[in-house]
């Protein structure tokens, strides 16, 4: 049985350390799992019920919803912007939470990880993301966490995939999410 995990990155910057962390997750996916890095969050308009009309949902939002519907689990990579969740990631969660009662998260497992410059690695933003995911209908894995502090220094010359400690921790996160998603698929 193959398990599909959709990765959403809350930073649009080309050199984003969270994007690099997501790339590492793709690389470290266990056998029987694939981690798909969603491209296109920047093109999705801000959520607005006036444009979320069946048959005329903006194409970028429809693409996100289709990818999420096809996923068995979610892995969100969250930088911390002014102590909270980046707008692009919150917007994706808002689109995926609709239509009300039938959103794409639909009880599927979701884990939240990330790295940030600060000494706590973005835990405030990650906590806010977990809260939003839970309200949006995901089965948030509260005990599957990874917060990496000091990203600017730690990853200045090393890709997260080449940092042994990070690689081990990220591999464990993906494996645990894979296990939860596999249980959901089998049920």
Q: Mind listing the pLDDT tens digit for each residue in 129-170?
A: 999 999 999 999 999 999 999 898 889 899 899 999 999 999
Contact 116, 81 (CB under 8 A): no
Contact 65, 95 (CB under 8 A): yes
Half-sphere exposure of 120 (CA within 13 A, CB side): 9
Spell out the domains of the chain, with CATH numbers in brackets: 3-186 (3.40.50.360)
Place 1 in a pLDDT band, splitting at 50, 70 and 90. Answer: low
User: Of all residues in the chain, what percent are helix, strand and coil, respectively (each to 5)?
Assistant: 40, 20, 40
The residues, any chain, with a CB within 8 Å of residue 114's CB and separated by 6 or more, are 10, 18, 21, 76, 77, 78, 79, 80, 121, 122, 125, 126, 146, 147, 148
Q: Answer whether residue 7 shows pLDDT above 70.
A: yes
pTM of the model: 0.95
Q: Answer whether residue 100 shows pLDDT above 80.
A: yes
Place 10 in a pLDDT band, splitting at 50, 70 and 90. Answer: very high
* Helix spans in 111-163 (H): 123-135, 151-154
Q: Answer whether residue 76 shows pLDDT above 70.
A: yes
Q: How far is Cα 154 from Cα 56, in angstroms, rounded to an integer?
A: 44
| CA angle, 91 then 121 then 86, to 5° | 15
- The whole-number pLDDT of residue 153 equals 86
Tally Cβ neighbours within 10 Å of residue 76. 26
Could you report the per-residue pLDDT of 43-66, keeping only the tens digit for each? Answer: 999 999 999 999 999 999 999 999
For the chain, the C-alpha Rg in angstroms (whole number) is 16
Contact 86, 11 (CB under 8 A): yes
Distances (CA, A) of 179 to 13, 25, 42, 77: 31, 15, 30, 19
Contact 95, 49 (CB under 8 A): no
Structure tokens at 24: 């590492």
């Amino acid at each position: 049985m193959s398990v599909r995990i959709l990765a959403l990155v809350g930073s649009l910057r080309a050199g984003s350390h969270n994007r690099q962390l997501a790339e590492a997750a793709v690389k470290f996916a266990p056998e029987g799992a694939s981690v798909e890095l969603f491209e296109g969050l920047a093109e999705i308009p801000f959520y607005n019920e006036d444009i979320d009309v069946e048959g005329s949902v903006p194409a970028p939002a429809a693409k996100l919803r289709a990818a999420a519907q096809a996923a068995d689990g979610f892995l969100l990579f969250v930088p911390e912007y002014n102590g909270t969740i980046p707008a692009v990631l919150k917007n994706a969660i808002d689109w995926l939470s609709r239509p009300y009662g039938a959103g794409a998260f639909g009880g599927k497992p979701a884990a939240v990880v990330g790295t940030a410059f600060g000494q706590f690695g973005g835990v405030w933003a990650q906590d806010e993301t977990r809260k939003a995911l839970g309200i949006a209908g995901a089965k948030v894995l509260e005990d599957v966490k990874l917060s990496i502090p000091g990203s600017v220094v730690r990853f200045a010359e090393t890709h997260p995939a080449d940092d042994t400690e990070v690689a081990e921790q990220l591999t464990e996160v993906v494996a645990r999410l894979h296990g939860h998603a596999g249980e959901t698929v089998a049920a």
